[in-house]
Amino acid sequence: MVRSVVTGAAGFVGSHLAERLLSLGHQVIGIDNLSTGKMENINSFIDLPEFSFHRSDIRDRSSMSEILEKAAPIDYFFHLAAVVSVPFSVENPGITEETNYDATVWLLSKCEELNVSAFIHAGSAAEYGDEPRLPIKEEYATDETKHLSPYGKTKYLASKSVAKSKKPSGISLRFFNIYGPRQDPSSQYSGVISRFIEQALRGEPLTVFGDGEQTRDFIYIDDVINVYLVAAGINSDTGQITSPYQGTYNVGRSKSITINRLAEVIRSIVNPNLSIVHLDPRPGDIRHSLADISKAKSTFGWEPAWGIEEGLKETIKWYQEQK
Active site residues per annotation? 151
Which residue type is seen at 211?
D
Q: What whole-number distance in Å separates Cα of residue 68 and Cα of residue 88?
A: 28
Average pLDDT over residues 92-109: 99
Q: 116-132 burial string, b = 16+ CB within 10 Å, else e?
A: bbbbbbbbbbbbbbbbe
Q: What pTM, to 2 d.p., does this model score?
A: 0.97
247-251 and 206-209 strand pairing: unpaired
State residue 26's pLDDT score.
Answer: 99
Of 189, 108, 106, the closest CA to residue 149 belongs to: 189
Average pLDDT over residues 200-210: 97
For 3-180+218-253+290-306, give the CATH class.
alpha beta
* Extents of the domains making up the chain: 3-180+218-253+290-306
Rounded to a whole number of angstroms, the distance between the first and last alpha carbons of the chain is: 38
The answer, yes or no, to whether residue 284 has pLDDT greater than 80, is no
| Average pLDDT value over all residues in the chain | 97
> pLDDT tens digits, residue range 180-197?
999 988 776 678 999 999
Average pLDDT over residues 100-104: 99
State residue 186's pLDDT score.
Answer: 75
47: Cβ contacts below 8 Å, ≥ 6 apart:
none
- Quick check: 17 and 225 in contact, CB under 8 A? yes
Q: How many H-runs (helices) and E-runs (strands) does the chain carry? A: 11, 13
Average pLDDT over residues 240-262: 98
> pLDDT tens digits, residue range 135-184?
999 999 999 999 999 999 999 999 999 999 999 999 999 999 999 999 98
Least trusted range by pLDDT, from 93-107, 216-230, 255-269, 277-291: 277-291
218-220 and 169-175 strand pairing: unpaired
